[in-house]
Amino acid sequence: MNRKRALIADTFCLTKRRRCAADSVTGESQADIRSSLQYLVTLFSRKLFNDSLPPVVLKHQLYSLHNDKTSVDKQVNELRETGELLMFQLGFDSEAFALVFAEDFRAKVLQGEAGRGTLGTVEKFLAKLIPSCSDLSFNKEKMLKEFLFTDSEITQLVKSGVLTVRDAGSWWLSIPNSGKFIKYFIKGRKAVLGMVKKSKYGEILQTELEGRRTTSQVKFQMKYHIHDIIGAELVECIQTTSGTLLRYVDGNVN
């Protein structure tokens, strides 16, 4: 109801509000997304992976922090164009994309590669990738012609974990050692959703869920998982007088 009243008021006071609002919106929004990303990065538990993974944030976690999904998408794409952010296809869901800051990614990958023979190839790949390319997957033609890699170098990249096989002759961009992350993430998501589902009436206040003790299945912070399930619309968010209520949505594949 509140949104409708605001929209109705908007329609009839169009010009004044638009003029004041327009200036403040564009400047703030870019900074907003970056600060939300940095906030979500703090929720990521680095120690869990012995510091070998860069902090990973999922794109739909941003939807839980901002109302307008289309503008979130637009700004994420802008950050990717400038080379600040990298996006990866995680594989367990065609709509789940992981976002990593480019400098973090580069630092962790080189840290992982230190002392190995593949270091040189990986460095060359990262140098080509980070400032200019914002693709999620590469096919053979691109690797050989545009990036001028040889077959053996491609094999080295796959071995080091920066590329994973997509199908014959094409590869996804990936984060090395991310298998463990995906495993823990899926388990944790299932456990948190189970907690919501098992509550009385299949709903629970967000503050109560944050306060609950996590089982051994949940390795990440509770807030990280909560942003994930809200953003992926696996639970419905209802505003009540005692705060946000999360209600389990039937018909989830998970």
Partner 1 sequence: MLSFLYARQSGLDDPVRLRRAESTRRVLSLELNHNRDVDRIHGNGINTLDIEVIDGRYMLSGGSDGVIVIYDLENNSKKPQYTCKAICTVGRSSRHVHKFSVETVQWYPHDTGMFVSSSFDKTMKVWDTETLKPAEEFQFDGNVYCHHMSPVARKHSLVAVGTKDPKVQLCDLKSGSRIHILQGHRGEILSVRWSPRYDHILATASTDSRVHIWDVRRASGSLFTLDQHNGDKSKTSSEAVNTAHNGRVNGLCFTADGLHLLTTGTDDRMRLWNSATGENTLVNYGKVVNESRKGLKFTVSRGCSPEFVFVPCGSSVAVYGLHSGELITMLRGHYNNVDCCEFHPDYQELYSGGKDCNILAWVPVLRQPDIEDEETNSKRVKHCLYLYRSAGLD
Contact 86, 69 (CB under 8 A): no
Q: Residue 197 Cβ, how far from partner 1 at the closest point, in Å?
A: 18
Nearer to partner 1, 12 or 201 (CB): 12
Interface stretch with partner 1, choices 149-157, 164-172, 220-228, 240-248 (CB under 8 A): 164-172
Contact flag: residue 28 with partner 1 (CB under 8 A): no
Give the whole-angstrom CA distance, residue 145 versus residue 200: 59
Contact flag: residue 138 with partner 1 (CB under 8 A): yes
Contact flag: residue 29 with partner 1 (CB under 8 A): no
Contact 165, 159 (CB under 8 A): no
Q: How many CA atoms lie within 13 A of 173 on its CB side?
A: 22
Give the whole-angstrom CA distance, residue 159 versus residue 144: 17
Nearer to partner 1, 170 or 214 (CB): 170
Q: Which two tokens stand for residue 26?
A: 């564009």
Give the whole-angstrom CA distance, residue 215 versus residue 195: 10
Contact flag: residue 20 with partner 1 (CB under 8 A): no
23 Cβ contact partners less than 8 Å away, ≥ 6 residues apart: none
- Answer for which of 29, 52, 155, 170 binds partner 1 (CB under 8 A) is 170
What x-and-dash track marks residues 67-86 binding partner 1 by CB under 8 A? xxxx-xxx------------
Residue ranges in contact with partner 1 by CB under 8 A: 3-4, 7-8, 11-12, 14, 63, 67-70, 72-74, 89, 94-95, 135-139, 166-167, 170, 233, 251
